Amino acid sequence: MDKLMAGRLEVGGITTIDSLTTLNSFRNKNLNIKIREGNPNSFVYFLSPQIIYSESFVIQILFTDEKISKVILRAFSDIEEDGLTIAKRHRKWLIKLLGEQLGIKNQIQFDWGVINPWVDIRSCQVEIHITYF
């Protein structure tokens, strides 16, 4: 619980992501990732779902000028799920890690950044956005 409140994600036991993570920390590592580099924004994509605190996620990371700016998580399942089901899984995960009072909010603010459980009803896109200041 304290780890997510501190802005720290432990990804599959292979790496830790937090507000100090840099693009350089992903280069030359064998983490099953793809890096799309450009100035000023670069992206890291994990090519396979990763476990973060008991839940499997597809992970994208956005860097601005080599510094982490956003992590985008989407719950992964071997079976096809609709957006509402995934949104419920996201909320349950956030409540488990942050407690009910914080986990139900649509914008959860900390000193290090913001967690937004994001839902686009029209496209059925559902993600958790973790934005670092």
DSSP H or E segment with residue 87 = helix 83-98
E-state strands within 28-86: 33-36, 41-46, 50-52, 55-64, 67-75
What pTM was estimated for this model as a whole? Answer: 0.93
Question: Which value, to the nearest 10 degrees, does the dihedral of the CA atoms of residues 95, 100, 106, 112 take?
Answer: -70
Residues in a beta bridge with 36? 43
pLDDT tens digits for 36-66?
A: 999 999 999 999 999 999 999 999 999 999 9
7 neighbors 112 (Cβ within 8 angstroms): yes
27 neighbors 35 (Cβ within 8 angstroms): yes
pLDDT tens digits for 84-131?
A: 899 999 999 999 999 999 999 999 999 999 999 998 877 878 999 999
Does the structure show a pLDDT above 70 at 1? Answer: no
pLDDT of 29 reads: 83
pLDDT of 117 reads: 95
